[in-house]
Structure 1
Amino acid sequence: MRTLVVGATGFVGSRLVRALDEEGHDVVAFSRSADSESFPDGVEPFAGDLGDPESLEGLCDGVDVAYYLIHSLTSENFAELDRRYAARFREIAADAGVDRVVYLSGISGDETDLSPHLASRREVETVLAEGAFDLTVLRAAVIIGPESASFRIVDDLTDRLPVLVVPQWVRTPCQPIGVQDAIDYLTGLLRAAETRGETYDIGGPSVCSYESLLRMTAARKGRNIRILPVPVMTPKLSSHWLRFTTDVQYAIARPLAESMRHPVTVREDYDIQDVVPIDRTPIEAAIAASLAESSRQASR
């Protein structure tokens, strides 16, 4: 099967390219920096920019399934860019006769009072759903992995301070998922025809709070931390607080912080585990794997 990964050099995209290639798919890897050295032998790199229509000629030619992994959080006008890029890709994919598109979105709780970040994810889902192809949407909360912006915030916080005065949202329920589990769901749905045209939540085997996630990460590093939630720190203030407590770009950390006030857990009726069952990784094991990979990367 000829598969296209849009956003192939990103945190999830690079892993997805390798997994699809290992499963024997004919993979096209698209990003602005795509080149043959970035991917396994046999993967076809396609360098282009969704902001430059001329660079996209032939992108979807012969493609059966396309994974759309574009999120523009580094830009102030990220919602506008995401809307424009999604519409452009939708038309290119439809014109080329792509059979199926898979979009990785975000869990957003009860779907009310959405943060700009999560509202943008919903808008992209709507834009892609208007295409002449079957759309499958997977919604994830925190993806645990070394390059995940959400998990890097957790990692940085547990490195910086023995006492954390944190926003009240640290007690918000969430259902993190290890990056390998996310990849397994993304590839596994190709073998489940019933996932066409459907939307699913993906998460790990248990629910925790951000506070618990901080404590588990600190414990894995052999650190003891005290966490003091304060109710007066608004989402806007907490995003500024992150400017001084994490190395994650402020333009990325701000919308993520605004989203953390929402419970993000897998809804029973939307759980993909019922359709694409996998052996899910416990949160503690996913944290350990992420920290170990970060350590290997730092030692290279």
Structure 2
Amino acid sequence: MTKTVLVSGASGFIGSHVAARLAEEGYRVRAMTRHPQDYHGAGEPVAADVSDPGSLATAFAGVDVAYYLVHSLGSADFERRDADAARNFAEAAAAAQVERIIYLGGLGANDGKLSAHLRSRREVEDILRAGSVPVTVLRAAVVIGHGGISWEMTRQLAHRLPAMVTPRWVRTRTQPIALPDAVRYLTGVLEPVEARGRTYEIGGPEVLRYIDMLQRVAKIRGGRLPNLTVPLLTPRLSSAWLKFVTDVDLATARNLVDSMSTEVVVRDDAILRLVPGTPLGYDEAVRLALADRERAGRHDKSRATR
């Protein structure tokens, strides 16, 4: 029997690709969005908002599995908003007797030093798990793909700056993952019974510093990015600097910068045994993201001239 799958955040960066992949694999996809009239992605659009509990019952009716792929990173009070939203989602899933929730969270050791952003991601895990519906959690660092906020920030810095004076966080280690691999893992955990209640860490094959990522993007684009790291650039100054150089809004930049001082690398590779396959390397992920951006630009230009 074909499963009905609810994808929250279906119009977002990750959710849109998850919905498309599930539809390709033959699932009945219910695309949850606040603006169904503007939705043009895969699946059947359904109006609902995780911040409005009363809107969720209709979205969950007849659903077998639900993906939780939303966050409020651009809001000053995102921790409270995300906690409330997760609670609403878990309660609606329980009322609808959903088989499972699948959630994409963030990597990072829970050692008391997590940033507010990563701490919020972990709190959402706990809230979802506190409900009666089994939860499968995937934890990732930066997802490299066109449309992702962290990737877009990286691309713009590498593209717009001839050289960089950077804060210490650019030397923090992270394990980026290509968008196709993140989607492959998210959809690959849907069927296996052993994935119920489990947490998996996902990442690409390389552990890199943020400065390595920036310089390799510059090299792929045919340039160089000399760097001088100075210890006096505080997180507040760093986020203001990012806002000045990139299109990322100040609240999002500040929350991302706070997280960049935390090492986020895969410590457990169990996902490779559950969902086999060789993940893409960083350079290949970057080339795919740049190619997708170019295609999207041509498409937008074509629509504008019609």
Contact 1:64 1:100 in 2 (8 A): yes
CA–CA separation in structure 1 for the residues paired with 2:82 and 2:70: 7
Q: CA deviation at 1:88?
A: 0.6
1:130-149 equivalences under 5 Å are 130-149=130-149
Q: Does 1:157 align with 2:157?
A: yes
Question: Which residue of the partner structure matches residue 231 of structure 2?
Answer: 231
Return the alpha-carbon distance in structure 2 between the equivalents of residues 252 and 84 of structure 1.
19
Describe the SS at the equivalent of 2:21: helix
Residue pair 1:192, 1:276 contacting (<8 A) in 2 also: no
Cα distance in structure 1, aligned partners of 2:236 and 2:11: 30
The structural deviation recorded for 1:208 is: 1.0
In 2, Cα distance between the equivalents of 1:37 and 1:139?
A: 27
SS of alignment partner, residue 166 of structure 2 = strand
User: Counterpart in 2 of 1:17?
Assistant: 19
Match of 1:276 in 2: 275
Contact 1:145 1:179 in 2 (8 A): yes
SS of the equivalent of 2:59 reads: coil
CA RMSD of aligned residues (A): 1.4
Letter in 2 for 1:181: D
Structure 1 residues without counterparts, runs of 5 or longer: none
Shift of 1:51: 2.4
Alignment partner, residue 126 of structure 1: 126
Tell me the amino acid that sits aligned with residue 75 of structure 1: S
* Equivalent pair of 2:136/2:197 in contact (CA under 8 Å): yes
**Unaligned segments of structure 2, at least 5 residues:** 300-306
Show the counterpart of 2:206: 206
Q: In the aligned structure 2, how far is the partner of 1:272 from the partner of 1:62?
A: 29
1:84 aligns with 2:87: no
Is contact 2:39–2:45 with CA below 8 Å preserved after alignment?
no
CA contact (8 A) 1:115 1:258 kept: yes
Alpha-carbon distance in structure 1 between the residues aligned to 2:76 and 2:112: 23
Aligned to 1:291: 290
How many aligned positions are there? 297
Give the TM-score, by structure 1 length.
0.95
Assess, with a 3 A threshold, how the Cα gap between structure 1 residues 132 and 4 changes in structure 2: closer, same or farther. same
Deviations 1:257-289 (A, max 9, x none): 110001110013x54113222221111000000
* Paired AA for residue 273 in structure 1: L
Q: Which runs of 4+ in 1 moved over 3 A?
A: none
Would the alpha carbon gap of residues 73 and 247 (structure 1) be closer, same or farther in structure 2, given more than 3 Å must change? same
Q: For residues 37 and 142 of structure 1, do their structure 2 counterparts lie closer, same or farther at Cα, with a shift above 3 Å needed?
A: closer
Q: Is the 8 A contact 1:175 1:207 kept in 2?
A: yes
> Per the alignment, do residues 242 and 259 of structure 1 end up closer, same or farther by CA in structure 2, a change over 3 Å counting?
same
Maintained 8 Å contact 1:142/1:150: yes
Alignment-mate amino acid for residue 12 of structure 2: G
Question: Aligned in 2, Cα 1:37/1:169: closer, same or farther, shift over 3 Å?
Answer: closer
* CA–CA separation in structure 2 for the residues paired with 1:37 and 1:150: 24
> Which position in structure 2 is the counterpart of 1:29?
31
TM-score (normalizing by structure 2)? 0.94
Structure 1 position 131, deviation (Å): 1.2
